[in-house]
């Protein structure tokens, strides 16, 4: 199994406060992703990274920023949280360097509530 | 246009029956991949099956098979002999590769309930 952990797993915060979610992998894989999951929308890509300091936007990137200063860590930051960012956030990694299928392996998710 | 479309928000199926979950996709990438994931009520995302766009045969993994119809751009998941433990959300996803990068796009999911 891919070694991928997310922290925190649960967080409640207030509107306007900054929030950072951390994704850590032990597998040294190149690709890392942040998705959010909301009822009726499935999983939507926020940002992804294809290497250290190489990141790009997904379909719902407004209000989010990311950083990847080390291969193993991919941080998602909400600069000023809003209630619309209440969601479950999933980090994922891809083994596509070694497996042609390129399926994603997911962390356990981080449930964020913005009051 | 939606890249991945799952038209069945919910399905109820009798235990031991086969079930087909629909998925259609849209892409101009000639080399793409199609995936199905299962999300039980506990929340984790479980990879089920993969089909490459150049694969000649439909993918199978145990009770799961993927009915790949390339010309129709459909990738339906078939679960044979359904079990109570199959009750979950099921997501179809498509991998596209571009400029050396890749990303997966997910559908909105189908909630499958198996009735005893």
CB distance B33 to A86 below 8 Å: no
Chain B interface mutation, best of A103, A105, A106, highest count of B Cβ atoms under 10 Å? A103
User: Is residue A92's pLDDT more than 90?
Assistant: yes
Of B92, B90, B83, B81, residue with least CA distance to B112: B90
Q: Which of A79-83, A91-95, B9-13 has the lowest mean pLDDT?
A: A91-95
Chain B interface mutation, best of A101, A107, A109, highest count of B Cβ atoms under 10 Å? A101
Q: Do B33 and A35 touch (CB under 8 A)?
A: no
CB distance A92 to A106 below 8 Å: yes
Q: Which of A35-39, B29-33, B56-60 has the lowest mean pLDDT?
A: B29-33
Q: What is the mean pLDDT of residues B11-38?
A: 94
Choose between A6 and B56: higher pLDDT: A6
3-state SS, one letter per residue, for B17-77: CCEEECCEECCCCCCEEEEEEEECCCCCCEEEEEEECCCCCCCEECCEEEEEECCCCEEEE
* End-to-end Cα separation, chain B, in angstroms: 38
User: Is residue A1's pLDDT more than 60?
Assistant: no
pLDDT at A96: 62
Tokens coding B53: 């766009």
- Residue B71 contacts by C-beta under 8 Å, 6 or more apart in sequence? none
Write down the mean pLDDT value for chain B.
93
Per residue in A39-90, pLDDT (tens digit) is: 889 999 999 998 899 999 999 999 999 999 999 999 999 999 999 999 999 9
- φ/ψ of residue A78, rounded to 5: -105, 110
Q: Do A103 and B47 touch (CB under 8 A)?
A: yes
User: Is residue B100's pLDDT more than 70?
Assistant: no
Residues of B with CB under 8 A from a CB of A: 6, 33, 35, 43-45, 47, 50, 52, 91, 93, 95, 100-109
How many Cα neighbours within 13 Å face the side chain of B16?
1
Choose between B65 and A2: higher pLDDT: B65
Q: Which residues of A touch B43 (CB under 8 A)?
A: 88, 108-109
Helix (H) or strand (E) run with residue A32 in it: strand A31-38
């Amino acid at each position: 199994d891919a070694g991928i952990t997310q922290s925190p797993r649960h967080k409640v915060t207030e509107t306007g406060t900054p929030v950072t979610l951390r994704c850590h992998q032990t597998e040294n894989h190149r690709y890392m992703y942040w998705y959010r999951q909301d009822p009726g929308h499935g999983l939507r890509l926020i940002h992804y990274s294809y290497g250290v300091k190489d990141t790009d936007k997904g379909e719902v990137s407004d209000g989010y920023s990311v950083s990847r200063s080390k291969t193993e860590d991919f941080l998602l930051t909400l600069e000023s949280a809003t209630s619309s960012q209440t969601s479950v956030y999933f980090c994922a990694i891809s083994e596509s360097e070694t497996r042609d299928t390129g399926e994603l392996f997911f962390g356990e998710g981080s449930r964020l509530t913005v009051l | 246009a939606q890249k991945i479309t799952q038209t069945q928000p919910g399905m109820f199926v009798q235990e031991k029956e086969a079930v087909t979950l629909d998925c259609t996709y849209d892409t101009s990438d000639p080399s793409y991949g199609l995936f199905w994931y299962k999300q039980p009520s506990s929340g984790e995302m479980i990879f089920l099956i993969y089909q490459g766009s150049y694969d000649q045969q439909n993918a199978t993994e145990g009770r799961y098979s993927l009915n790949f119809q390339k010309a129709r751009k459909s990738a339906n998941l078939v679960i044979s002999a359904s079990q109570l433990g199959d009750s979950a959300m099921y997501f179809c996803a498509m991998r596209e590769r571009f400029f050396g990068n890749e990303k997966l796009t997910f559908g909105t999911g189908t909630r499958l309930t198996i009735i005893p």
